[in-house]
Structure 1
Amino acid sequence: MSAELGELGGNGGGTIHLVVLSGLSGAGKTVALRTLEDFDFYCVDNLPAALMPALVSAVSLGGHRRIAVGVDVRNRSEDLNQLPQVLAELAGTGVDYQLIFLDSRDDVLSKRFSDTRRRHPLSADGLPLHDAIALERKLLRPLAAIADRVIDSSELNVHQLRRLIATELGMSGGALSLLFESFAYRRGLPTDADFVFDARVLPNPHWDPALRPLSGKDAAIRDWLQAKPEVRRFLDQLTGFLDEWLPRFEADNRSYVTICIGCSGGRHRSVYLAERLAEHFRGTREQVLTFHRELE
């Protein structure tokens, strides 16, 4: 395997950074993968561990230096047992890897499955949920034991977990990272916002029946809002404010700033503005995230 991979970590394009995400179903692995994808990681979920070296080789040849792979109980047990050896061989080729294990309390996992009405991957053949969680914990215990970092998401909401993953894994070089988050006021303010801006004063495409089912990511909504002078003025003033003040946060050694934009339903105006702001700042910054609370 090592001969097939060669010296991946030093093949002229810089070190390859591999994040392997594992953990219990419902603990937040999908959220973590999506967050890393926003930070330009090449992400693959549910990859058999034995295929990881071939994936790293192929993806790195395509120019990607940051790769994230989800490995969980859907793997065959023999594949899970191979993972320590696979990671050791990758390290021997110069790949810089981290194994991150996402955990949560059994009662929290049970509630999450109940709230979302999802089936546990081990609940086939009528296995009760609590037994499926116990079996999964047993099967994944060897991975938790060798993890570089175990994250307990029991007390974290989706937004807090995204921030943690972005802060610990997504950012590079100490540059200021930005999260633009849209939300609906009727569901409450985000708990970890640094700035909050209210877009409810702007024209609302919700009242057009043809536009109502769409979101601020759709071209029809973008065109409708961009045609409104007050929307353009709001966006220009907001962009100017952030252009002036974000460097002050950076000078104060801040590493992460969350800018939240709210509207009535969290689907149209706030999403549009968050996306447009992210587009603007991606022109000058590498680490820009968007998160749309009501669209998740």
Structure 2
Amino acid sequence: MKGKRQQVVLLSGLSGAGKSVALRALEDLGYFCIDNLPVPLLAQTTALLDEDGYPRIAIGIDMRSSHSFGLFPAHYEALTELDIDLRLLFLEANDETLIKRFSETRRAHPLANGKLTIPESVTLEREMLGDFAHLAHRIDSSDLSANQLRSWVREFVALDRSKLTLIFESFGFKHGLPLDADFVFDVRCLPNPHYDPVLRPLTGKDQPVIDFLEREPRVGQYLTHVLGFLERWLPEFDRDHRSYVTVAIGCTGGQHRSVYLTEQLGKHFALQRQVLVRHREQFPHS
């Protein structure tokens, strides 16, 4: 294929974390999608599709091909030497969510084989996929709706891979820590708009909540300290050739304080870096 480089998305993750949803989202975006391709066929398949004129392809790799998954690091290294736009996306979720999804659908886990329980299979798969996860852009789908996941996948493939992407994500501690975070900042120590009945149904993107938080000196101090920390250490990630850094900001419910600070951090760094802003928890009017 001549002209623009072929874009190749390698999609993997834990069984039950939403790979089928993500692959369908990529298909809707015009990607030629292949699911459950054995790892040794990666380079050959990519080259053949490039010759046949497929500019964007997405390949699902998971534990259904567990006999060849251990070969992934070597075959991935070979792909990085090709003149392609190569992206890795890894979907994960917490154990409780994965176990619940398998129980509700009554599907068998691909590693169960009639010998392992679902929790044992989930633990084993997480260990087996560890080498893939640290190379990839990770999305924790534990508390995401299918629409949210599709939206985050669309954002991922639209990124400029030549730049480090800084992801700011708000969340609520009562719903659990995000698995995809590189840094976690706890803002539960700051004044909480939740206790004002007028502000309670709003979010940190609404002006009355913004006004409330900006009147509080501690909020500004906290924001300044986080900005200073990130300004100091992000250049080290650049030198380490990292593609993505996820900064999670958490308050109790993920609705007011974390959303406000996430928005402010995103606006600040968007002036100089490639930024994604995400709010994990669902809001009635988001």
* Coarse TM-score class (shorter-chain normalised): 0.5 to 0.7
Larger radius of gyration: 1
Which residue matches 1:97? 57
- 2:224 corresponds, among 227, 233, 236, to 236
Identity across aligned pairs (percent)? 41
Residue in 1 that maps onto 2:262? 274
Distance 1:31 1:18 in 2: 18
Question: Under a length normalisation based on structure 1, what TM-score does the superposition of the two structures give?
Answer: 0.51
Partner Cα separation in structure 1 for residue 177 and residue 189 of structure 2? 17
Counterparts of 2:124 and 2:21, CA distance in 1: 11
Q: Using the TM superposition, give the Cα deviation of residue 273 of structure 1 relative to its aligned residue in structure 2, in angstroms.
A: 1.2
- Residue identity matched to 2:16: G
> What's the secondary structure of 1:234's corresponding residue?
helix
Flag the structure with higher helix content: 1
1:201 paired with 2:186, answer no
1:15-46: CA deviation from partner (whole Å, max 9, x where unpaired): 3526486999834227757xxxxxxxxx9466
* 1:284 CA drift (Å): 1.8
The letter of the residue matching 1:211 is L
Give 1:97's aligned amino acid: I
Give the superposition deviation at 1:207: 0.9
Of the three residues 4, 17, 21, the one matched with 2:7 is: 17
Of the candidates 160, 166, 172, which is equivalent to residue 137 of structure 2? 166
1:79-116: per-residue Cα shift (whole Å, max 9, x none)? xxxxxx9x9677523615342245579xx9xx858735
Residue pairs, 1:1-296, within 5 angstroms: 10=3, 14-15=4-5, 17=7, 19=9, 26-29=16-19, 32=22, 44=25, 47=28, 56=30, 91-93=51-53, 95-102=55-62, 115=100, 129-130=106-107, 154-155=125-126, 165-166=136-137, 173=161, 175-186=163-174, 189-190=177-178, 193-286=181-274, 288-295=275-282
In structure 2, the CA distance between the partners of 1:69 and 1:289, relative to structure 1 (3 Å rule), is farther
Secondary structure of 1:203's match?
A: coil
How has the CA–CA distance of structure 1 residues 182 and 167 changed in structure 2, closer, same or farther, with 3 Å as cutoff? closer
Structure-2-length-normalised TM-score? 0.52
Q: How many equivalent residue pairs?
A: 217
Distance 2:202 2:124 in 1: 32
**Map of 2:150 onto structure 1:** none
SS at 1:212 equivalent: coil
Amino acid at match of 1:268: H
The 1:249/1:18 distance shift into structure 2, 3 A limit, reads closer
SS in 1 for 2:100: helix
Cα distance, 1:206 vs structure 2: 0.7
**Please, what is the CA RMSD of the aligned residues?**
5.0
**Deviation sequence 1:114-151 (CA, Å, 0-9, x none):** 7359986xxxxxxxx448x99xxxxxxxxxxxxxxxxx
**Does the 8 A contact of 2:34 with 2:58 survive in 1?**
no
3-state SS of paired residue (1:245): helix
Q: Residues of 2 paired with 1:199 and 1:183: CA distance? A: 10
Secondary structure at 1:230's aligned position in 2?
helix
For residues 279 and 195 of structure 1, what CA distance do their matches in structure 2 show?
Answer: 18
Distance (Å, rounded) in 2 between the aligned partners of 1:130 and 1:195: 34
Relative to 1, partners in 2 of residues 1:100 and 1:201: Cα closer, same or farther, differing over 3 Å? same
Report the 3-state secondary structure (helix = DSSP H, G, I; strand = E; otherwise coil) of the residue aligned with 1:281. helix
Amino acid of the structure 2 residue aligned with 1:99: I
2:53 maps to amino acid: T
Aligned to 2:143: none
Classify 1:167/1:191 alpha carbon distance in 2 versus 1 (closer, same or farther; 3 Å). Answer: closer
Q: Distance in 2 between matches of 1:213 and 1:269?
A: 13
The aligned residue for residue 90 of structure 2 is none
Q: Distance in 2 between matches of 1:283 and 1:239?
A: 13
CA contact (8 A) 2:138 2:180 kept: no
Q: Which consecutive unaligned segments of at least 5 residues does structure 1 have?
A: 1-6, 34-42, 48-54, 57-67, 73-84, 121-128, 135-151
